[in-house]
Structure 1
Amino acid sequence: MRSSRPYKSPNAAMCWSVVLPGFGQLYNRDYFIGIVLLGLEFLINLKSNLNLVLVNTFNRDLLSAHQSIDYSWGLFYPSLYGFAIWHAYNSAKANNNKLEGKTVERRTYFSGFFLGLVIGMDFGLFWHDGSLIKAITFLDYPVFNGVLFGLLFGFIGNLLDKRVYRKSTKQT
C-alpha cells in the first residue's frame, strides 16, 4: 500500500530550509506552513533590506551595510530562519516514524541548537561592533557577526540540550 506521504529525508528537509525558509516545509508537503514561511521570509527580507545588506557586506562596504539595515525588521529574520529549519527537520522525522509504524515521539531534535542559533544570530545582529576584537574586522559586519554568533550559540545550546536537559528528563 502506497502512502500519500513517502519517506522524507530529515537532512534534505533541513537543507532546503537553509536555502530558503519554507522550502523544507514544501519538500515535506506541509504546504500551508511552507507558503506562510515563504511569505514571511519575503516580507521580512524586503522590510529589513537584507539583500542590500548582503550585497554591501560582500562588497566590503561597512558604512553602507550599517546604514541600509532596518534592525526593527532584521531581528525577526533569525527567528523565522531557525524555526523553519527546526520544523522541517522534526516534521520529516515525525513523518518517517509514522511510515515505520512507530508512535510519533513527543521528542524534538536539535532544539537546543536552533534555539541557540536564533539567540546567537539576534545577538550578533544587534551587537556587531567589533570594538572588542579589533583583529577580526569581519565582526563589524552585521551578517557575518550574526552567522558567527549564531553558530557559536547553536553549538553551546546543543551541548546544553544534550548534557543538561536530556539527562534531567531521563531521571524523572
Structure 2
Amino acid sequence: MRQSRQYKSPNAAMMWSLVLPGLGQLYNKDYLIGFALIGLEFVVNLNSNLNLSLISTFIGDIHSAHHIINYSWGLFYPSIYGFAIWQAFNSAKANNDKMAGKEAERRTYFSGFFIGLVIGMDFGLFWHDSGFIIHHQATRFLDYPVFNGIVFGLILGFLGSIMENKVYRKSKAANYG
C-alpha cells in the first residue's frame, strides 16, 4: 500500500479531516478510506441539507434552519466526521512509529473525546428544540440544530476525554503496580 514512509504530522492530519472528512486520510496516503469518507460526507451532507441549514443558521433564520434539515440523514454526519478526524490522527501516529522502527502501540489517542463528540453532536441535533432551550433567553442560540450539536459534542467530548484518561491511568498503574 505505502511504498516509502515519511513523517506525517498527526495534528496536520487531524486538521485536514476537520476541514473535510477524508482529507486527513489523503494526507496520510490512505487513499481508499480517504475517498470513501469524502464520498460518504457528500452523500450525507446533500441528503441532510446540512449546508443549507448552516447558511440559515448563520443568517439567523431559525425557522428555515429547523425545517430545511433532514434529521434522518443528519444524524449520520457526526459519526463520519468524528471517525475521520480520529482515524487520521491515529494513522499518522502509527505511520510515524513504523517509520521510527518502534513497535506499534496498542493504545489509540483521543478515543474518549471523539466518542463523546459523536454522541454529543447526535444528542444536540436530536434535542435542539427542547423546552428548556426555547424558554430561556441565555440558551436561545442553542435552538439552532448546528450550534446545539457543536456545544453538546464539545461538552461530551471533553467528558469522554477525562474518562478515557482516568481509565488509561488506572490501567497503566495496575500494570506497573
* Structure 1, 67-76 or 132-141: larger mean CA deviation: 132-141
How far residue 34 of structure 1 moved from its aligned partner, in angstroms, is 0.0
The answer to whether the 8 A contact 1:130-1:137 is kept is no
Instruction: Map 1:1-172 to 2 at 5 A.
Output: 4-129=4-129, 131-133=131-133, 134=136, 135-163=138-166, 165-170=167-172, 171=174
Q: Deviations over 1:27-77 (max 9, x none)?
A: 000000000000000000000000100000001100101000111100000
Structure 2 residue runs without a partner (length 5+): none
SS at match of 2:131: coil
What is the rounded CA distance, in whole Å, between the counterparts of 2:5 and 2:36 in structure 1? 20
Q: Work out the percentage of aligned pairs sharing the same amino acid.
A: 67
Q: Deviations over 1:99-153 (max 9, x none)?
A: 1110011110000000000000000000002531412211000000000110000
Q: Which amino acid aligns with 1:10?
A: P
How far residue 167 of structure 1 moved from its aligned partner, in angstroms, is 3.0
* Structure 1, 80-89 or 134-143: larger mean CA deviation: 134-143
Tell me the number of residue pairs that the alignment of Structure 1 and Structure 2 aligns.
169
What is the rounded CA distance, in whole Å, between the counterparts of 2:171 and 2:68 in structure 1? 45
The alignment's C-alpha RMSD in Å is 1.1
What is the rounded CA distance, in whole Å, between the counterparts of 1:143 and 1:64 in structure 2? 12
What is the rounded CA distance, in whole Å, between the counterparts of 1:69 and 1:152 in structure 2? 23
Q: Which amino acid aligns with 1:63?
A: H
Higher share in helix? 2
Structure 1 residue runs without a partner (length 5+): none
Q: How high is the TM-score relative to the length of structure 1? A: 0.95
Q: Which runs of 4+ in 1 moved over 6 A?
A: none
SS at match of 1:132: helix
